[in-house]
Chain A
Amino acid sequence: MDWIRKNDKLISVVAVLVVTVLVWEVLCWYFEARDFILPAPSRIIMEWAEAPGYFLKHAGYTLMTTLVGFALAVVLGVAMAVGIVHSVFLDRTLYTLLVALNSVPKVALAPLFVIWMGTGSEPKIAIALMIAIFSIVIDTVLGLRSADSDMINMARAARASKLQILMKIRFPMALASMFAGMKVGISFALIGAIVGEFVAGETGLGHVILLSQGMFDTPRAFVAIVILGIMGTLLFYMVEVAERILLPWHVSQRSAHTH
């Protein structure tokens, strides 16, 4: 009983997934759905088991593209945010431009990246980066700006330099907001990578889905989709675990430590 109470969230998630899969299986069997319309879960698992190496290779490629795009988005995004917060000029120019660009559906720009960068992994990384960076920049700017003015005064009275205030006060205070941006960003990076693979190239799960569609091989497309679902979930939790490690003091995390 105790174990159940402690893990009630995990148990309910697993239960919902298991029931969904079972209902799906039963419905496919009952209506005799054909594989190319909607394959049953058992069929999808068989498809996966037939060529695990094939899926691993393509998943690895998509994962690599996503992670590189995301990492670049974090580095560039945070650097831009620091510049925007510290310079009126960058605020008026770069930030205004970013906010304006953010309203363009960025997926629409994907084909252009193929023209500019070819069909290798560069355009995919670039698209992942472009889609992920907005939320990171905007949330980091917000976080850096919302630093407690009393705290800044305290540091100034203790004769802290601007750089020290940035590193020791503004950054730690902005972390919660930055992580909110990164959680959105990591999911967006995966979308960007898939869009990049849709547009051009011969590798990645996006390419697998496109290829399966051409051959009406729906079970194979579903394997790729399932892998993407697992990957997206794991990537999101990776950011969340990093947040828990880096922000043990934050209000949203605190309960686990005080009890």
Chain B
Amino acid sequence: MSRENSYVSIRDVGKVYPSPHGEVTALEDINLDIHNHEFVSLLGPSGCGKSTLLKCLAGLEKATKGEILIQDQPVVGPPDDMGVVFQRDILLDWRNILDNVLLITEFRRLDRSKYEDKARALLGRFGLQGFENRHPWELSGGMRQRASICRALLDDPELLLMDEPFGALDAMTRDDLNLELARLWQDTQKTVLFITHSIPEAVFLSDRVVVMSRNPGRIDEVLQVDLPRPRHLSVRESPEFGAYVSHLRQRFAQLGIVHGD
């Protein structure tokens, strides 16, 4: 974990919110390095500050302590080379799918015509060809979330932040999207920070799983996942996979976190 090859470097980060009942500590002593091309999951119960950490990293909120570096540059606002996928797809209902994916070309004043083919290719990759001119409300939840992933990937960002992107989907769609995301990572080798409260999902996707505890949000353990890649859904039946999952379950039980998955 040398600092040289880390893409993201989180140093002593803390976040304190003012509230009517005094200060609330959302994050405390967070230290984490994410390497180039690494897939890291933040795993924890709700209220452990994992979303807050993602927002600080995305430059949407400021940490009250410590610093966050991306390629050795401190994060002061939303970085250039980053895509974010949120829990809700938050597509704009008044735009068709293609125009939703192309949204950032307008924000960043990029030449739309240069990105249109790319947007179509991305939509094709995620099984949405033929839906370019449909509106978000005509699509299922899984298709909408696929479109929002395309939107985040349009400018081919090096860093991809995902905040419980599949939390609202049904189990089968979720399996599908886990597999598609694993393939995407295999092909593009992006640096990914993925937030989830599903243990199997974290183990299936990640190189490392960061276990977070709550009150205040801290890093409890970092688990290296050495399952062979590329991974298929069948890896979930392997004993190694089971061992990782059961280790993490026990960890959460020891932390006193009732974990319904």
**Footprint of B on A, CB under 8 Å?**
148, 150-151, 153-161, 164, 168-169, 172, 247, 249-250, 254, 258
Using Cβ atoms and an 8 Å threshold, which residues of chain B touch A172? 92, 94
Q: In the complex the two chains form, what is the Cα distance from A48 to B95 in whole Å?
A: 49
> For residue B58, which residues in chain A have a CB less than 8 angstroms away from its CB?
157
Given A153-B60, A172-B92, A249-B137, A158-B107 contact (CB < 8 Å) = yes
In the complex, the chain A residue whose C-beta lies closest to that of B155 is: A158
> What are the residues of chain B within 8 A of A151 when measuring CB–CB?
90, 92
Q: How far is the CA of A169 from the CA of B106 in the complex (A)?
A: 12
B103 near A: Cβ within 8 Å?
yes
Given A157-B84, A159-B108, A169-B92: A249 and B60 interface contact (C-beta under 8 Å) = no
* Chain B 48-87 interface mask (CB, 8 Å, partner A; 1/0): 0000000100111000000000000000011010101010
Q: Does B135 touch A at the CB level, under 8 Å?
A: yes
A153-B86, A169-B92 given as contacts; is B137 within 8 A of A158 (CB)? no
For chain B, residues 94 to 135, give those with C-beta under 8 angstroms from any C-beta of chain A. 94, 103-104, 106-108, 135
Q: Which of B58, B88, B94, B108 has the most CB of A within 10 A?
A: B94
CA of A164 to CA of B60 in the docked complex: distance in angstroms?
A: 17
Per DSSP, chain B at the interface is loop
B90 touches A154 (CB 8 A): yes
Does B78 contact A158, Cβ atoms closer than 8 Å? yes
Q: Which residues of B contact A (CB under 8 A)?
A: 55, 58-60, 77-78, 80, 82, 84, 86, 88, 90, 92-94, 103-104, 106-108, 135, 137-138
> A155 to B55, alpha carbons, bound, how many Å?
13
Q: How far is the CA of A164 from the CA of B104 in the complex (A)?
A: 11
Q: List 24 A-B contacts (CB under 8 A).
A: A148-B90, A150-B86, A153-B55, A154-B86, A154-B90, A155-B107, A157-B60, A157-B78, A157-B82, A157-B84, A158-B78, A158-B107, A158-B108, A159-B80, A159-B107, A160-B107, A168-B103, A168-B107, A169-B92, A172-B92, A172-B94, A249-B93, A249-B137, A258-B138
